Amino acid sequence: MDFAEAQVGDYKPKLLKEPGKIKSLHFIESYLGANVDYMDIYYPENTPQIAGATVFNDDMVRVFDKENLCIRKQRVPANTILIDNSTMQPGKEGFAQFTVLHEGGHFCMHPAVYRRCDGQLSLFDFGLQKEEGASVVCCRMNALEGVARSRDYTKWTQEDYREHQADVYAASVAMPRQTFVPTAMELNRKAGFRDGIFVTPDELDWDYELGVTALTENLSNIFGVSKAAANVQLKRLGLLMTEDEYLEQHRQFAVAF
């Protein structure tokens, strides 16, 4: 996502020259202009937990009140990114950073969907945007992990596309192509892949699985992301693929030239 990387370059040019960890909270608050707050966000029983939310207008959000053991409504000011306290546990630093940046993606890209303008009635919302909570987008943990969306893009809803856009935004900010690609390719070459692409057998092979684990762990340490996020970015940028995918790519290149 070019505009996300352009933001990173404007915020801190060094991050597009040398691989490193972005200070996600500082980026969101000082560069994007959002406020970040932490709460125990309420989610109904038997539904996936909410990891974060973006509040576009002054609105009410339901939270767990652990002190009084109840659920209550909490007024939250406009332009606030909420992060659930559960994401801040030790060992979840990479997921916490991705959640913050994912919500930053909603904040940048989707105000036209969720933000209300006083006295303005959308031709498409039939007044529903006046309902409490209508200017809040909540992101569940399974959506951030990518398991909530079908792999068949034709079955995606508009909400699915917005969640995907926020995922790509977060990945582009945390792992810009300009530094991620050469770093990953160098690690792949050291692992014996001369063209810098890690190719795994189509059949399960534990040696290769261990190699992928080592690769994603190295990248997660360098960029401060979760191993899952590093794995997805590798695949998205064509640096981790199966033998069939690799052969198909080379067939396409052969046809093109």
Residue pLDDT tens, the chain, 257 long: 799 999 999 999 999 999 999 999 999 999 999 999 999 999 988 888 899 999 999 999 999 999 888 999 999 999 999 999 999 888 889 999 999 999 999 999 999 998 887 554 433 343 334 455 667 888 887 766 655 556 677 788 898 899 999 999 999 999 999 999 999 999 999 999 999 999 999 888 898 999 999 999 999 999 999 999 999 999 999 999 999 999 988 777 655 54
Measured in degrees and rounded to the nearest 5, phi and psi for residue 13 equal: -55, -30
Longest alpha-carbon distance in the chain: 68
For 137, list phi and psi in degrees, rounded to 5: -110, 120
Whether the predicted model's global pTM rises above the 0.85 cut:
yes
Residue with tokens 């560069």: 31
Residue spans of the domains in the chain: they are 3-154, 177-255
Distance between CA atoms of 201 and 242, rounded to whole angstroms?
A: 6
CB count in 10 Å sphere of residue 216: 24
Residue 63: the pLDDT is 95
Helices (H), the chain: 2-11, 24-26, 93-109, 111-114, 141-144, 158-174, 177-190, 206-223, 227-236, 243-256
pLDDT of residue 139: 87
CB 108 within 8 A of CB 169: yes
- At 46 the pLDDT is 85
Q: What digits encode the pLDDT tens for the residues 211-241?
A: 999 999 999 999 999 999 999 999 999 999 9
Distances (CA, A) of 144 to 51, 56, 158, 171, 198: 8, 20, 16, 11, 25
In the sheet with 50-55, reading across from the earlier edge strand, the strands are: 35-39, 80-84, 50-55, 136-140
